[in-house]
Amino acid sequence: MSKRYDWDLIERLLHHVQNSVAIEDASETHAAELRALLLERGFIAAHTSGAGGSGEGATLTANGASLLAMIDSSIPGNDHPRQVLDEQADALDPATFDEVASKAQIA
């Protein structure tokens, strides 16, 4: 059985990290859990000391930027990559994501 993720929330989190904006909404707890997962799995990276801003001290990694490009709702046809990601046992597993993202028809 595949693990399903809230791609809309992940997209918002990645946009917020990209734009250095803190996320504030009713799903803050779930967002914090997803943010921790994205950090742990290398989709976002914590700033080193001295970095400022309100983006909770993180930046997108290359994989984070790739994931954002795949699931970005402003891009027509983003449903297909989300569907392919949902079909994986765990789409945010780094090795699984690298394999899926390397397929030209997905990325």
Q: Which H/E stretch holds residue 98? A: helix 94-101
pTM: 0.79
Cα–chain-centroid distance for residue 88? 15
| Per-residue pLDDT tens over the stretch 38-73 | 999 999 998 765 544 444 578 999 999 999 998 988
In this predicted model, which residue has the larger pLDDT, 1 or 98? 98
Residues sharing a CB contact under 8 Å with residue 37, sequence separation 6 or more, in sequence order: 92
| Per-residue pLDDT tens over the stretch 81-100 | 899 999 999 999 999 999 99
Return the minimum-mean-pLDDT range out of 9-23, 24-38, 39-53, 69-83. Answer: 39-53
- What is the residue-averaged pLDDT of the chain? 83
